[in-house]
């Protein structure tokens, strides 16, 4: 029979361990945010004693979470040691699933892209290419082994109505069909927790941690892909909504008797501003005899990149197509501007490659449809991270989720 003294001692030890691990997680989080810091800087940021932090830094270094990266400047005496997260041992796998293809990447804890591949695995109704996903997962598992690293989490960025808390995509539910559960397929190759995130929210997270939205409190990022979604930072935090669905700008109705959207509704913004709408209008115009050098291309070869290339070369029809999309998008964004009063709108996605050809009409539409007082401090910029915003944001989401759920260290 266990004595009450032993039980009390055991409980006391578990409480001490819990507090210690909590502080370790705060150190990891702090170094993820700051990049590198000394013992005294961490003690000040975490409001704890220097000896306590020094002891935990030694433990985290021994556990390969951290390493020493030189010394900081000092006015007097010995220069203090700088610590940062260890980029050579723990890693996070990112899967970026798009409508027509998928990217698989490996990131270090310092957001260094270590490995990336692209393959055919799409969200279309033909979900038969799981073998390509399995092959890609096997390849990245081998890459992790060769690098002598350990994967601590997997992040999956995907379009649609995603409830990150439950890990469910309500738009593309066939990802977890009974005969081939998506998570089980991942677990066959990578034994680590898997987290699902909406692609537009992953983008705003990437901008928040590493891009134009860093240190800003009120930001909208617009993801112009096959559909349109926004990510919103308000008060310095990403807006989720009650079910995690906040930001589906593409499904506000803008034409009462417009085209049928993939969601089943009529006249959604997606039907006017998504990449598929742009390509459809280009082909329709050419079929009607529109004068354009785009007519030199086969109809099936006309894609977003082709239209942007011709627009950059001065083709009037291609420029008009992008202008029309930008004006419709700006009109839709004006609603978001009135709701959230952002200081910055970041343009991302496949159409962001058009740069000023898409951002100028967005600005013009916002100037036309927004109250003047909302426009005073507002800037509209093309993302500097590009496609990396989504993957980096997914990596950040995984690490923060692991810390919040006490999965590490």
Backbone angles phi and psi of 387, in degrees to 5: -65, -20
Question: In this predicted structure, what is the pLDDT of residue 285?
Answer: 96
Asked whether 384 and 353 are in contact (CB, 8 A), the reply is no
Mean pLDDT of 165-173: 86
Q: Which among 25, 54, 85 is the end of a domain?
A: 85
Within 8 A by CB and 6+ apart from 13, the residues are none
Mean pLDDT of 157-175: 87
Q: What are the contacts of 374-380 at 24+ separation with CB within 8 A? A: 374/337, 374/338, 374/341, 375/337, 377/343, 378/337, 378/342, 378/343, 378/344, 378/345, 379/343, 379/344, 379/345, 380/344, 380/345, 380/347
Say what the pTM is: 0.92
pLDDT beyond 70 at 180: no
Question: In this predicted structure, what is the pLDDT of residue 10?
Answer: 56
pLDDT beyond 70 at 104: yes
Instruction: Examine the domain organization and report whether 190 and 238 are in the same domain.
Output: no
Question: In this predicted structure, what is the pLDDT of residue 346?
Answer: 99
- Residue 409 belongs to some domain of the structure: no
Q: What are the tokens at 106?
A: 């490996």
- Stretch among 130-134, 230-234, 242-246, 314-318 having the lowest mean pLDDT: 130-134
Mean pLDDT of 124-144: 83
pLDDT beyond 80 at 218: yes
Q: What are the tokens at 26?
A: 């705060």
Mean pLDDT of 8-24: 77
Neighbours of 244 (CB within 10 A): 19
CA atoms of 272 and 249, how far apart (whole Å): 12
- Residue 372 belongs to some domain of the structure: yes
- Helices in 86-198 by DSSP H: which ranges? 130-146, 182-187
Question: In this predicted structure, what is the pLDDT of residue 129?
Answer: 61
> 78: pLDDT confidence band, cut at 50, 70 and 90?
confident
Instruction: Examine the domain organization and report whether 145 and 233 are in the same domain.
Output: no
Asked whether 293 and 315 are in contact (CB, 8 A), the reply is yes
- Residue 208 belongs to some domain of the structure: no
> 183: pLDDT confidence band, cut at 50, 70 and 90?
confident
Structural domain span for residue 21:
4-85
Total domains, the chain = 3
Degrees, nearest 5: CA angle 345-347-349: 150
pLDDT beyond 80 at 1: no
Q: Which among 85, 109, 135 is the end of a domain?
A: 85
Instruction: Examine the domain organization and report whether 345 and 269 are in the same domain.
Output: yes
- Residue 250 belongs to some domain of the structure: yes
The CATH number covering residue 123 comes to 3.30.420.40
68 has which bridge partners? 83
Question: In this predicted structure, what is the pLDDT of residue 328?
Answer: 97
The CATH number covering residue 13 comes to 1.10.10.10
Degrees, nearest 5: CA angle 250-254-259: 80
């Amino acid at each position: 029979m266990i004595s009450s003294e032993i039980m009390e001692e055991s409980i006391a030890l578990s409480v001490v361990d819990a507090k210690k691990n909590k502080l370790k997680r705060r150190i990891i989080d702090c170094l993820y945010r700051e990049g590198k810091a000394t013992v005294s800087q961490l003690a000040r940021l975490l409001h704890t004693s220097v000896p306590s932090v020094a002891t935990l830094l030694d433990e985290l270094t021994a556990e390969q979470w951290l390493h020493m990266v030189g010394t900081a400047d000092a006015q007097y005496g010995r220069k203090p040691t700088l610590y940062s997260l260890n980029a050579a041992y723990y890693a996070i796998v990112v899967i970026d699933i798009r409508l027509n293809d998928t990217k698989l990447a490996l990131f270090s804890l310092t957001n260094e892209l270590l490995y990336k591949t692209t393959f055919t695995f799409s969200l279309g109704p033909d979900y038969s290419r799981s073998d390509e996903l399995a092959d890609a997962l096997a390849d990245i598992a081998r890459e992790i082994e060769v690098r002598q690293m350990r994967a601590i989490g997997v992040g999956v960025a995907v379009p649609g109505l995603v409830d990150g808390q439950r890990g469910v995509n309500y738009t593309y539910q066939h990802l977890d069909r009974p005969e081939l559960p998506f998570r089980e397929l991942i677990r066959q190759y990578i034994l680590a927790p898997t987290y699902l995130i909406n692609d537009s929210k992953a983008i705003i997270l990437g901008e928040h941690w590493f891009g134009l939205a860093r240190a800003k409190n009120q930001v909208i990022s617009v993801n112009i892909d096959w559909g349109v979604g926004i990510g919103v930072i308000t008060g310095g935090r990403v807006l989720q909504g009650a079910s995690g669905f906040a930001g589906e700008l593409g499904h506000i109705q803008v034409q009462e008797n417009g085209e049928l959207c993939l969601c089943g509704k009529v006249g959604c913004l997606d039907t006017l501003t998504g990449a598929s709408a742009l390509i459809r209008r280009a082909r329709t115009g050419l079929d009607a005899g529109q004068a354009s050098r785009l007519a030199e291309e086969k109809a099936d070869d006309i894609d977003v990149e082709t239209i942007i290339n011709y627009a950059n070369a001065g083709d009037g029809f291609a420029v008009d197509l992008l202008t029309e999309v930008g004006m419709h998008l700006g009109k839709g964004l004006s609603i978001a501007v009135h709701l959230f009063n952002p200081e910055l709108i970041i343009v991302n996605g496949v159409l962001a490659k058009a740069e000023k050809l898409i951002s100028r009409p967005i600005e013009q539409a916002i100037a036309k449809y927004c109250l003047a007082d909302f426009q005073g401090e507002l800037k509209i910029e093309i993302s500097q991270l590009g496609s990396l915003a989504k993957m980096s944001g997914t990596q950040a989401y995984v690490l923060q989720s692991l810390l919040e759920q006490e999965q590490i260290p």
